[in-house]
């Protein structure tokens, strides 16, 4: 598997520390690499929320915000680049892995150029996560910098084949992009016996639908409610909404309009999402765009089949008629019909088994060595041209 297993590396990881797929993937990757003996240095503006424990192989470096009367906001990219220079020099890092192109890839480029003047070449790997390409990155106000920085990175990975394709079609990029998908810690995300919780939520034996997201427009949470509303008119049902974000007030107001407040619970930014997934029957992901769909993978690992749209990387994860069903964006009638198909007592157990089998293909134990191997290739390539 990994030729690098015995080669311990000093790796810098830069990510968004907030709730959100890219930060979760970056943090979980750092933890897995630390478990495999590498020294991992996280560089960001606050402690990543899944990094709340001690590990002898993990160090956290905070980028301190600075203000000055002339600045409207803190110049984060410059502060981050300066911190990267400092950490690379003093901790003798061998590779920098930045997650989400904006602004991490450009800050890393700046840091790498500064370090050259100190006689140090630090290879930079950029992982594209999705909205950095599909929404924000393609905006003309960002596109020239994103294109340049992707080119300048020593290595580029994307979390799905579809994101790789979209990157090539959106930007003028000739560089090789390696696809390394999202992954899951199967020791944490597994179906747990939480029947007491299920009884509390579904006292009359109702079916239970779950949605997890950051409640941004792109997640189309209003479609979750539309699907749920159609399902509950056929079969008694409850809905749990995990997460929070800008669309929440609108979603709360829809709940009132459709008189569903007693059947829907908002759980907020819950850390132990696997406990909720353990009692769910179906997971709903009607996103407008989704480069991979980490939240759906978490559900599948807990044996919950998925109703999703057929956009982006979702067809690489959710297999039509096997682990759930896929529909065009906004096709809420079809998604509601398919939810009812999944809930059929004779069908659901097999869908649950299939979902788990599919999740196993994205086991962190398989994907972490793929990143190690990729780092090794990039280090070899960079060492040969630096020599």
The span of 110-118, 227-235, 283-291, 345-353 binding ligand GMT (CB under 6 A) equals 283-291
Figure out which of the listed residues 30, 48, 123, 130 binds ligand GMT, where binding follows CB under 6 A. 130
212 part of the interface to ligand GMT, by CB under 6 A: no
The strand pairing partners of 99, in sequence order, are 127
Closest separation between CB of residue 144 and ligand GMT, Å? 21
126 part of the interface to ligand GMT, by CB under 6 A: no
State the CB neighbour count (10 A cutoff) for residue 115: 18
Is the torsion defined by CA of 34, 186, 293, 154 positive or negative? positive
Figure out which of the listed residues 57, 126, 153, 182 binds ligand GMT, where binding follows CB under 6 A. 182
Is 38:62 a contact under the CB 8 Å cutoff?
no
CA dihedral 341, 345, 346, 347 (to 10 degrees): 40
Interior/surface letters 70-80, b for 16+ CB within 10 angstroms, e for the rest:
eeeeeeeeebb
Is 88:337 a contact under the CB 8 Å cutoff?
no
183 part of the interface to ligand GMT, by CB under 6 A: no
Closest separation between CB of residue 100 and ligand GMT, Å? 6
The span of 15-23, 106-114, 333-341, 378-386 binding ligand GMT (CB under 6 A) equals 15-23
Closest separation between CB of residue 102 and ligand GMT, Å? 10
Closest separation between CB of residue 192 and ligand GMT, Å? 23
Helix 294-301 × helix 21-35 angle, to 10°: 60
Could you give the residue ranges of the DSSP H alpha helices within 258-363? 273-277, 294-301, 314-317, 332-343, 348-360
CB nearer to ligand GMT: pick between 120 and 218: 218
Is the torsion defined by CA of 209, 210, 216, 219 positive or negative? negative
CB nearer to ligand GMT: pick between 40 and 294: 294
215 part of the interface to ligand GMT, by CB under 6 A: no
20 part of the interface to ligand GMT, by CB under 6 A: yes
Which residues between 151 and 180 bind ligand GMT (CB under 6 A)?
Answer: 159
The span of 21-29, 104-112, 145-153, 323-331 binding ligand GMT (CB under 6 A) equals 21-29
11 part of the interface to ligand GMT, by CB under 6 A: no
Structure tokens at 52: 């709340």
The strand pairing partners of 363, in sequence order, are 184
Place of tokens 């410059």: 78
Q: Give the burial class of 121: count Cβ atoms within 10 A of its Cβ; 0-12 exposed, 13-18 middle, 19 or more buried.
A: middle
290 part of the interface to ligand GMT, by CB under 6 A: yes
214 part of the interface to ligand GMT, by CB under 6 A: yes
Figure out which of the listed residues 100, 283, 351, 375 binds ligand GMT, where binding follows CB under 6 A. 100
Figure out which of the listed residues 83, 97, 104, 129 binds ligand GMT, where binding follows CB under 6 A. 129
Place of tokens 């406990």: 275
CB nearer to ligand GMT: pick between 20 and 305: 20
21 part of the interface to ligand GMT, by CB under 6 A: yes
27 part of the interface to ligand GMT, by CB under 6 A: no
323 part of the interface to ligand GMT, by CB under 6 A: no
Is 236:204 a contact under the CB 8 Å cutoff?
yes
CB nearer to ligand GMT: pick between 25 and 156: 25
Is the torsion defined by CA of 95, 182, 168, 133 positive or negative? negative
- End-to-end Cα separation, the chain, in angstroms: 28
C-alpha dist (Å) from residue 7 to 33, 98, 360: 12, 21, 27
- Contacting positions for ligand GMT (CB under 6 A): 20-23, 25, 100, 129-131, 159, 182, 214, 218, 289-294
């Amino acid at each position: 598997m990994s030729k690098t297993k015995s080669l311990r590396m000093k790796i810098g990881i830069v990510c968004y520390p907030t709730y959100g797929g890219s930060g979760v993937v970056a943090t979980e990757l750092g933890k897995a690499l630390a478990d495999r003996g590498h020294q991992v240095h996280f560089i960001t503006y606050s402690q990543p929320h899944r990094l709340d424990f001690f590990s002898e192989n993990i160090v956290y470096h905070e980028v301190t915000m600075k203000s000055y009367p002339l600045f409207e906001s803190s110049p984060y990219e410059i502060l981050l680049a300066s911190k990267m220079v400092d950490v690379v020099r003093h901790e003798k890092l061998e590779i920098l892995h930045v997650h989400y192109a904006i602004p991490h890839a450009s800050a890393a480029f700046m840091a790498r150029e500064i370090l050259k003047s100190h006689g140090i070449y630090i290879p930079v790997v950029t992982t594209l996560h999705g909205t950095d390409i599909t929404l924000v990155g393609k905006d003309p106000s960002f596109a020239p910098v994103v294109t340049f920085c992707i080119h300048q990175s020593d290595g580029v990975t994307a979390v799905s084949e579809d994101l790789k394709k979209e990157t090539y079609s959106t930007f003028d990029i000739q560089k090789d992009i390696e696809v390394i998908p999202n992954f899951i810690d199967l020791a944490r995300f597994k179906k747990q016996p939480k029947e007491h919780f299920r009884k509390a939520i579904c006292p009359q034996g109702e079916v239970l639908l779950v949605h997890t997201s950051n409640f941004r427009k792109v997640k189309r949470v209003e479609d979750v409610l539309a699907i749920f509303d159609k399902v509950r008119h056929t079969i008694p049902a409850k809905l749990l909404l995990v997460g929070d974000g800008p669309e929440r007030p609108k979603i709360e107001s829809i709940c009132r309009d459709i008189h569903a407040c007693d059947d829907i619970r908002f759980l907020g930014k819950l850390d132990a999402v696997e406990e909720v997934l353990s009692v769910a029957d179906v997971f709903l992901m009607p996103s407008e765009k989704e480069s991979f769909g980490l939240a759906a993978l978490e559900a599948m690992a807990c044996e919950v089949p998925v109703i999703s749209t057929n956009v982006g990387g979702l067809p690489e994860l959710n297999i039509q008629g096997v682990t759930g069903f896929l529909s065009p964006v906004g096709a809420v009638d079809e998604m509601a019909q398919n939810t009812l198909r999944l809930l059929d007592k004779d069908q659901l157990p097999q869908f649950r088994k299939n979902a788990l089998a599919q999740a196993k293909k994205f086991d962190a134990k398989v994907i972490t060595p793929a990143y190690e191997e990729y780092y090794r290739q990039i280090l070899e390539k960079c060492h040969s041209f630096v020599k």
